[in-house]
Structure 1
Amino acid sequence: MRTSLTKELEKYTQLLEAQASQVEKDEWRLKFHVMPPVGWLNDPNGLCYFNGEYHLFFQYSPSDPNGSLKYWGHYVSKNMLSWEYKGIALYPDMPFDCCGVYSGSALVEGDQVWLYYTGNVKLPGNHDYVNTGRQGNTIAVVMDKDGHMGDKQLVLTNEDYPADVTCHVRDPKVWKDKDRYYMVLGARKKGDKGCVLLYSSTDRMSWELANVLETEETFGFMWECPDFFCLDGHNVLSFSPQGLAQNGLDYANTFQSGYFMVRGEVTGAYTLENFREWDRGFDFYAPQTFETGDGRRILMGWMGMGESDYVNLTVERGWQHCLTLPRELSLKNGRVLQNPVRELEQYRTDRADYSLESGMEMAAPLCSDILMEELKDRDFHLCIDDGLTINYDKDKKIFTIEFLPESPISGGRTARGVALENLNSLRILLDTSAVEIYVNGGEEVFSSRMYPRDLEISHGHSLTLAAGSGKMTMWKLEERE
């Protein structure tokens, strides 16, 4: 139902998006990563394959590149890389979502998509907005095959959540297994312990609590953006814990995202195995997965980080943030591997092959796909644009990416690393102002924003190999119509 408020918000956001023609001129705009037309983007939402197209919704604040009132923006694609913006799909236009259309997911049912999201409401008054003053409403809305949205339906409210959780319950992820539907919600317990609430339903509207998924010891005060899926016959619980203290190279960002392999029955007795971070870079949070028509499990994350001590230089140009490239997930030796979707290979051109030797200097196109193999487990040191270094210390067995001090391309980013037994291969994806680094076939991933100078924008990236050997294949990534 389009209310009078909906119509006013439509007019307001159309005026804001009219500025997109200016934003599009920015030289730091990306070619293959999803960005907001204007303003702010964060979590990917409602990822699905429906009616022959990929659908991607996202947290969107068109009025402010630093983020404000949240809407759901909407993109569609035939191949997960060339995206068409379809406009704002959901507005904060009802009493139960008036302070923001927060994160959620999609459930494809025949010729419909059921969208579930959190309707955020902050009540006026003297509240701490943890234990009082906040409503985290779970809302459902149905989209038909023509993209039309039905009426919003209130599914769960604070009164429906367990008594021992705070007002912080959000981010529904819904799926179907046999004849039942399941939903996971991220939650913060009283006493500041994060957990995931599991609900079940037979009709998509009436939900009953089926279990609470948590660790024995407190592991962060809030678990956001949960996801549950089966990969090669093994259950995976993904979530974004808040409140983890840095532990050596682990948990280096303000907030983390990672997963547990789950043994046992998620609706009964279960065991959560060791936590693994999805991404070790500066800019990654709130991932969500979905299944393609051919059965691949795909992950996309927000290529940003809240409350960080580094910045994005695009803010002054009217926009901020992007999503990661879509990643195919696979399982090997009990851990999840991530690699760019195979569709990216369709955009490769101008192949060049190299034998790597220490001291080499090379040029790379502004948008590049660089594959380094047979690195032979030696010390490795690669510098990009005299600002970003990629390093492996064979004796310490540590892999790091590091922006040089005072580097103009860093936005204040410093260093991130991971313990790594061997370095065998690297795949580096460069897309204007974003870099994704896949280590050893996706065993580890580092995602970061970087802001090339006019020199790199005009002439491409410079690569200097100070240490290392092996072979390298480089392709230019070129947009297709």
Structure 2
Amino acid sequence: MNPLHDEMKQRYKAMMASFEANDQDPYRLHFHVMPPTGWLNDPNGACQVDGLYHLYYQYSPYDAAGGLKYWGHYTSTDLVHFDDAGLALLPDQPYDLHGVYSGSAFEEDGVIHYFYTGNVKHLGDHDYITSGREQNTIHAVSYDGGMTIQNKEVVIDSKDYPAVFSNHIRDPKIRKINGMYYMILGARNRHDEGLVMLYKSVNLKDWDYHGPYFGPEVGMGYMWECPDFFELNNKEVLIVSPQGMEPDGLLYQNVYQSGYYLGEMDEEHVTFKPTSHFYELDHGFDFYAPQTFEDEQGRRIMWAWMGLPDADYDNPLDYDWQHAMTLPRVLTVENHQLMQRPHPNYQTLRHNEDRRQLQLSEGAYEYFTGKVAELLVTIEQVKDLSITIRSDVTLSYDDDTKQLTLTLGDAGRGRQTRAVDLTALNQLQCFVDHSSLEVFINDGEQVMTTRMYPKADEEKLELTGDVKGTVTHWSLQK
């Protein structure tokens, strides 16, 4: 019995008993996962067990500007419609009292094992980088398919990390290889370099430090968060979210990045050997801390936080909530790159299909209406193309420069321009929600994601330019 745990649960239950979503909120999302109220950030513990999908997430229910972190919990049978399962993990122990930070799930023999970072900040004169912070690695379990998490225990105490590392070690992810369990953690060493640490275990409880799995790398920042590792289409994939990278042309324009390496695993030494450079996963404004899992059909699914910490743009807080998840994306490795496609189950939301031949030249246009929509543009020939979304958000492509540019006006709340280099443009798939836009480029070769806040009465989607192809518009309805 933990009286603090019970009291925290009761407080949340009492708040939610009287909670009603405000139907006057023009920016409340229709088909994206968002918090009932308060603040959401990283996806955590994503998994599918006995047909049921679980998405846990970083959650500050009492403060839309951020605050003490819990794990919230949604469940789904189709990844489209979600049920709120309330609070899953609470900061109710001395080893996690300043936040139940990010982590992951690993299912074996009917038991779901959770590993997360327990955050503790000590009072005193500390920089909270080299002193004053505990980031303990915690293990917990569920015996009822993910609905109740119990038996929390510290499996790696912060004082037991190697001395070469700073206090910033977090975000465990687990994988079983040849009968051995491996855990990776994002880390910052005392030389202010980011890297991925590796631990190993025979029983998921007793963990030994194995060494660096990958990194540090020159120019790759001072901290790597939210690492993920998996095999996909006979390639090893390592995902990291570096902090402290400098912009390089059109690359690395956000305050922090999220991206991947393709490579191979040295199974003898259990280290990662990249065969590619670092690729950004998204070229928009709002994408961070992705997490993947393998579903029961063998597909690799990825969610990410549709937001960023410490960004110089913001979101309105008028209705006491902030942030959301991206659409779940299906990953594959094709032609030496990671492809991202929207989960096919979202096609069930399509209504009122409107398919048109597209043959535009100067002065001509096509337009559709709707605040919640999918737009699929298939291109045969193009010199230039512009898609204006609800008056104040524009996607534009110039075939001379081979650049696709995303531009926001006042609707961006400080978000202005992002662009990506392409070799050609042959397809755009746009998912428009009340306050978000996700653009899948060339069947998932690249993606651009942004939050947006257009005027409530704007609902036109307009295409202009010099382009030939087809365009299909659907309204998306749950």
Q: Could you tell me the TM-score, scaled by structure 2's length?
A: 0.95
Alpha-carbon distance between aligned partners in 1 of 2:142 and 2:122, rounded to the nearest angstrom: 29
Indicate yes or no: 2:48 matched with 1:88: no
Query: How far apart are residue 439 of structure 1 and its match?
Result: 0.4
Query: How far apart are residue 317 of structure 1 and its match?
Result: 1.2
Query: How far apart are residue 198 of structure 1 and its match?
Result: 1.1
Alpha-carbon distance between aligned partners in 2 of 1:222 and 1:375, rounded to the nearest angstrom: 43
Tell me the equivalent position of 1:461.
460
Alpha-carbon distance between aligned partners in 2 of 1:291 and 1:325, rounded to the nearest angstrom: 16
Tell me the equivalent position of 2:308.
305
The partner residue of 2:442 within 440, 447, 471 is: 440
**Aligned-pair RMSD on alpha carbons?**
1.5
Q: Deviations over 1:171-215 (max 9, x none)?
A: 001122231111110000001000000111110111122230104
- Unmatched runs of 5 consecutive residues or more in structure 2: none
Deviates more, 1:424-433 or 1:146-155: 146-155
Q: Deviations over 1:13-58 (max 9, x none)?
A: 2344346304465231112111001000000000000122000000
Q: 1:24 to 1:162 in 2, by over 3 A?
A: farther
Tell me the equivalent position of 1:321.
323
Query: How far apart are residue 11 of structure 1 and its match?
Result: 2.4
Q: 1:411 to 1:209 in 2, by over 3 A?
A: same
Count of residue pairs brought into register by the alignment: 471
- Unmatched runs of 5 consecutive residues or more in structure 1: none
Pairing of 1:24-423 with structure 2 (within 5 A) = 25-145=24-144, 147-212=147-212, 213-265=214-266, 267-268=269-270, 270-272=272-274, 273-313=276-316, 315-356=317-358, 357-358=360-361, 359-404=364-409, 407=410, 409-423=411-425
Asked if the contact 2:351–2:476 (Cα under 8 Å) also holds between the matched residues in 1, the reply is yes
Letter paired with 2:302: L
Letter paired with 2:181: Y
Alpha-carbon distance between aligned partners in 2 of 1:25 and 1:48, rounded to the nearest angstrom: 34
Q: Deviations over 1:90-122 (max 9, x none)?
A: 000000000000000000112211011000000
Alpha-carbon distance between aligned partners in 1 of 2:285 and 2:162, rounded to the nearest angstrom: 35
Q: Deviations over 1:42-78 (max 9, x none)?
A: 0000000012200000000011001000000000000
Q: 1:371 to 1:464 in 2, by over 3 A?
A: closer
Alpha-carbon distance between aligned partners in 1 of 2:59 and 2:87, rounded to the nearest angstrom: 9
Q: 1:238 to 1:126 in 2, by over 3 A?
A: same
Asked if the contact 1:353–1:472 (Cα under 8 Å) also holds between the matched residues in 2, the reply is yes
Letter paired with 1:412: G
Query: How far apart are residue 438 of structure 1 and its match?
Result: 0.4
Query: How far apart are residue 365 of structure 1 and its match?
Result: 2.3
Query: How far apart are residue 425 of structure 1 and its match?
Result: 0.5
Asked if the contact 2:73–2:85 (Cα under 8 Å) also holds between the matched residues in 1, the reply is yes
Alpha-carbon distance between aligned partners in 2 of 1:269 and 1:6, rounded to the nearest angstrom: 40
Asked if the contact 2:392–2:454 (Cα under 8 Å) also holds between the matched residues in 1, the reply is no
Q: Could you tell me the TM-score, scaled by structure 1's length?
A: 0.95
SS in 2 for 1:295: coil
Q: 1:23 to 1:115 in 2, by over 3 A?
A: farther
SS in 1 for 2:383: coil
Q: 1:416 to 1:54 in 2, by over 3 A?
A: same
Alpha-carbon distance between aligned partners in 1 of 2:176 and 2:208, rounded to the nearest angstrom: 15
Q: 1:270 to 1:112 in 2, by over 3 A?
A: closer
Q: Deviations over 1:412-444 (max 9, x none)?
A: 210001111101110001111111000001111
Letter paired with 1:8: E
Percent identity between matched residues is: 41
SS in 1 for 2:357: strand
Letter paired with 2:307: G
Alpha-carbon distance between aligned partners in 1 of 2:23 and 2:52, rounded to the nearest angstrom: 25
Alpha-carbon distance between aligned partners in 2 of 1:187 and 1:360, rounded to the nearest angstrom: 51
Alpha-carbon distance between aligned partners in 2 of 1:275 and 1:88, rounded to the nearest angstrom: 35
